[in-house]
Amino acid sequence: MNKLKIKFEDCYGIKSLDHNFDFSNCSPKAYAIYAPNGVMKTSFAKVFVDLSKGENPKEERYNRKAKCTVESDKTPPLPETIFVLKAEVDLREDNPSVTDILVRPESKAAYDALATELESLKNKLINSLNKLSNFPKKFIEHQLMLDFDEESLFDCLNKALENKVEENLSDYEYGVIFDSKAIEVLKSPEFISKAEEFNQRYQELFNKAGTIYKKGIFNPSKADMAFDTLEKQGFFTGGHKVHLRDEASSFDQAELKKKVQEINATIDNDSTLKKLRDSLAKNVQTQALTNLIETLSPSQVDFLLENAKPINQNKFKQDLWSYYINNSSDAQAYYEKYLEYRKDMDQIEADAKQLGPHWKKAVDRFNDRFVDMPFTLSISNQIKAVLGQEPPRLAFTFKDGIDEVTWSREDIKTLSQGERRAFYLLNFIFEVEARELKKQETLFIIDDPADSFDYKNKHAIVQYLKDLTKVDCFHQIILTHNFDFFRTLAISDFVNRSRCLMTRKDENGVYLDLADGVRNYFIYKIKDKVAVNDSILLTSIPFTRNIIEYTSGENDNDYLLLTSLVHWKNDTDQITVGKYLNVYNKIFSKQEDESDPRLLKDILSSKAKEISQQIDHKALNLEDKIVLSMAIRMQAEIYLLNQLRKYKDDNNYWCQDKNQFGNLIKEYTSFSPNSRELTVLEKVSITVSSNIHLNSFMYEPILDLDIRHLIDLYNQVASL
């Protein structure tokens, strides 16, 4: 690729953009574009995301027809030659079963979609089996694999669906029968030797004359609990009696005990049967087994007792699960989709096995480059992955002093934003390695890498992107809204200055201009031009004032003089250009002509008006933005002082506070709290104050401010 021509119309909010990128005779093969928020950066990246998918860009907001022409050496680039590193981290990482496997980025979305749908179907199956078996949901999958002696849920389903159970097992609940406490009873010597006799006599309790029990409603266990509760609560001590069904008279405590003993005698007179009855009444789980037995017919109980014998339990467990599964539409749905999807997923995993060594290389490079992370990345199954025996799986190692822990994605459950960024960058590094190995001609669109990842790793990111320029078939267009990052690219001998661009936007579209003011703005743009350019003259004032503040302090006479040029003071309209240049010459050892008699406040007013009427504005516009900011606040203070003089009835009133503008607004608000003008004045306070207190070491905040916003505010203040 030598020349890249782009022409966008109505593409994701870009009304128009027409530019040619020339990579010929260019080393390194990279462009950097500074674009303040809201101008074009994300939209530009979205266009190339679509092109990388072989799709046409769109205009989402106004439903206009998008037009897009992108040509690489007069030919549309193939989708596979474009890769976009997006600013936003777009990973579906909420499902551990999806995200621990490292696969090619282009296969990731397909793999995730298949695995996510299977996970959803599996959850429906588990819910269905839970209702049929009364077995805890979170243990069902594990229990199935134990009972069928298989290593996967699918293999269990396979066995279950082949096992056509003829009996109707709908009344038998696995969770009740095979609860650990119920099993203790089922495998006890008493149960094994006396189960059939116990069941026969137990059933008689519900049918014998004078019984107090009713099958499925009130059994011996419930009776013992009820009468014990009455005793503990002082029911009988209080002189009360119990009236039983079909009895003519009521029973006191002694009579009630005698009645119950007579009914239970058929069991309790046999010590073994009584011990068995006590075991079944011991806890909630064994009582649930008793309740189940009560609801079954005699033949069903015989069936349960036979299959509950230790020798028959394994087959009975498999038969129960098989019956539930064969009668669950959710099981069939999961089974069919698994058969359909697994082939594709196996192929992706097989490909991943072959790429194990390359993933290891990418992980090692990540850890070498990005050292200021709260974790290091590793491949948890590194040996098997490198040997091609398993697909590589990602792990995170965290350290705190001597403590160290390594977590898989299953342990982490959900990725934090930092972990998402790391995983996203790891995928990018792998993609670079894979493309370099194939010598794949690639245009990388890099969307704000310092913003996408930890800013502390800014220099590591720059160095890695710089390494990419050493690969002859790689080309980069790096976009950022972070001017400091942009400046790093420009001054680090990474991106040639002739290929550092800035965006400019108007009502007709977006334009890319050669970057200006990238290096020290004061030295290269202001210092030697204050006497020949009025905008630069005015812009130098806050810079100079700042130097005096650092060197001599806020009480210095020259500092106070310059304060009268950024605030409306009683001497502001007396300060000439010459008087200011006298201070400027002293501070910077210059010899500018100090005879200029023009008043600086008049120049400020004239230049601000001129800028506000311009149609075209340069990309950076730093001088114009500072001039407008100074004029906006100066005009606002003139308005406030005039209003306060009326309220105070004092034509000689001047604000003496250091924080002049803030105190003027506070005073004005106390006199006129509902003034409509306050909205504009508060905008002034929020928008321009930091611009005027700007210094030679940090002026990035004003760069993101759209000059049209300042022009609108200037016009609002001028009309107060």
Q: What are phi and psi of 55, to 5 degrees?
A: -110, 165
Q: Are residues 360 and 497 in the same domain?
A: no
**Within 13 Å, how many C-alpha atoms sit on residue 589's CB side?**
0
Any domain includes 446:
yes
- Least confident span in 148-162, 431-445, 488-502: 488-502
Question: What is the rounded average pLDDT of the residues 248-258?
Answer: 86
Express each pLDDT in 28-73 by its tens digit. 899 999 988 778 888 999 999 999 999 999 988 778 899 999 999 9
Helix (DSSP H) and strand (DSSP E) numbers for the chain: 32, 12
Closest C-alpha to 364, from 382, 348, 346, 352: 382
Judged against a pLDDT cut of 60, whether residue 689 lies above it is answered with yes
Express each pLDDT in 3-18 by its tens digit. 999 999 999 989 999 9
Confidence of residue 430 (pLDDT cuts 50, 70, 90): confident
Contacts of 718 (CB under 8 A, 6+ apart): 635
Interatomic CA distance for residues 692 and 697, integer angstroms: 14
- pLDDT on residue 371: 72
Last residue in a domain, options 465, 496, 514: 514
Q: Are residues 565 and 707 in the same domain?
A: yes
Q: Are residues 540 and 674 in the same domain?
A: yes
3-state secondary structure of 212: coil
Q: How many Å from the N-terminal Cα to the C-terminal Cα in the chain?
A: 56
Judged against a pLDDT cut of 50, whether residue 95 lies above it is answered with no
- pLDDT on residue 517: 67
Interatomic CA distance for residues 160 and 145, integer angstroms: 11
Confidence of residue 418 (pLDDT cuts 50, 70, 90): low
**To which residue do tokens 């699918």 refer?**
154
Closest C-alpha to 567, from 668, 637, 640: 637
Q: In the beta sheet, which residues pair with residue 20?
A: 5
Judged against a pLDDT cut of 70, whether residue 453 lies above it is answered with no
Letter for the amino acid at 6?
I
Q: What is the mean pLDDT of the chain?
A: 84
Measured CA distances, 472 to 98, 376, 449, 469 (Å):
35, 30, 22, 7
- Least confident span in 287-301, 622-636, 685-699: 685-699
The DSSP call for residue 135 is -
Judged against a pLDDT cut of 50, whether residue 308 lies above it is answered with yes
The DSSP call for residue 77 is P
Q: Are 413 and 91 in contact (CB under 8 A)?
A: no
Q: Are residues 51 and 152 in the same domain?
A: no
Any domain includes 489:
yes
Q: Is the peptide bond before 28 cis (omega within 30 degrees of 0)?
A: yes
Q: In the beta sheet, which residues pair with residue 475?
A: 443
Q: Are 629 and 692 in contact (CB under 8 A)?
A: yes
Judged against a pLDDT cut of 90, whether residue 415 lies above it is answered with no
Exposed / middle / buried, residue 169 (Cβ in 10 Å: 0-12, 13-18, 19+) = buried
- Least confident span in 1-5, 283-287, 525-529: 283-287
Q: Are residues 256 and 273 in the same domain?
A: yes
Last residue in a domain, options 486, 514, 542: 514
Question: What is the rounded average pLDDT of the residues 438-451?
Answer: 87
Structure tokens at 140: 């069902």
Measured CA distances, 226 to 220, 221, 230 (Å):
10, 9, 6
Q: How far is CA 305 from the centre of its chain?
A: 55
Any domain includes 300:
no
Judged against a pLDDT cut of 60, whether residue 500 lies above it is answered with yes
Judged against a pLDDT cut of 60, whether residue 98 lies above it is answered with no
Judged against a pLDDT cut of 50, whether residue 713 lies above it is answered with yes
Task: Give me the DSSP letters along 525-560.
Answer: IITTTTTT-HHHHHHHHHHHHHHHHHHT-TTSHHHH
Contacts of 389 (CB under 8 A, 6+ apart): 353
Q: Are residues 455 and 480 in the same domain?
A: yes
Judged against a pLDDT cut of 70, whether residue 391 lies above it is answered with yes
Q: Are residues 30 and 158 in the same domain?
A: no
- pLDDT on residue 270: 62
Q: Are residues 587 and 698 in the same domain?
A: yes
Q: Are 512 and 60 in contact (CB under 8 A)?
A: no
Judged against a pLDDT cut of 50, whether residue 206 lies above it is answered with yes
Interatomic CA distance for residues 665 and 637, integer angstroms: 9
- pLDDT on residue 695: 56
Express each pLDDT in 111-142 by its tens digit. 778 888 888 999 999 999 999 998 999 999 99
- Least confident span in 103-112, 114-123, 499-508, 539-548: 103-112
Residue span of the structural domain in which 162 resides: 105-171+310-354
Any domain includes 302:
no
Angle at 201 between CA 195 and CA 206, to 5 degrees: 125
Q: Are residues 100 and 110 in the same domain?
A: no
Measured CA distances, 19 to 78, 355, 503 (Å):
19, 38, 11
Q: Are residues 219 and 364 in the same domain?
A: no
Q: Are residues 590 and 492 in the same domain?
A: no
CATH number at residue 441: 3.40.50.300
Q: Where are the beta strands (DSSP E) in 638-707?
A: none
Structure tokens at 594: 């100090």
- pLDDT on residue 197: 67
The DSSP call for residue 75 is B
- pLDDT on residue 94: 41
- pLDDT on residue 80: 92
Number of domains comprising the chain? 5
Question: What is the rounded average pLDDT of the residues 255-264?
Answer: 81
Any domain includes 305:
no
The DSSP call for residue 619 is S
Structure tokens at 597: 């008699």
Confidence of residue 595 (pLDDT cuts 50, 70, 90): very high
Q: Are 581 and 594 in contact (CB under 8 A)?
A: yes
3-state secondary structure of 378: strand
- pLDDT on residue 381: 79
Interatomic CA distance for residues 528 and 289, integer angstroms: 95
Structure tokens at 559: 């500092």
| Helical packing angle, 137-148 and 153-162, nearest 10° | 60
Of residues 385 and 71, which shows the higher confidence score? 71
Letter for the amino acid at 642?
N
Length, in residues, of the chain: 720
- pLDDT on residue 364: 87
Of residues 294 and 587, which shows the higher confidence score? 587
Judged against a pLDDT cut of 90, whether residue 605 lies above it is answered with yes
- Least confident span in 111-120, 208-217, 415-424, 635-644: 415-424
Q: How far is CA 47 from the centre of its chain?
A: 23
Any domain includes 303:
no
Interatomic CA distance for residues 158 and 153, integer angstroms: 9
Any domain includes 220:
yes
- pLDDT on residue 256: 85
Express each pLDDT in 569-580 by its tens digit. 999 999 999 999
Closest C-alpha to 294, from 208, 226, 219: 219
Q: Which helix (H) or strand (E) holds 21?
A: strand 14-22
Confidence of residue 187 (pLDDT cuts 50, 70, 90): low
Q: Are residues 477 and 616 in the same domain?
A: no
Interatomic CA distance for residues 636 and 642, integer angstroms: 10
Q: How far is CA 548 from the centre of its chain?
A: 46
Exposed / middle / buried, residue 543 (Cβ in 10 Å: 0-12, 13-18, 19+) = buried
Express each pLDDT in 470-484 by its tens digit. 899 999 999 988 887
Any domain includes 301:
no
- pLDDT on residue 349: 76
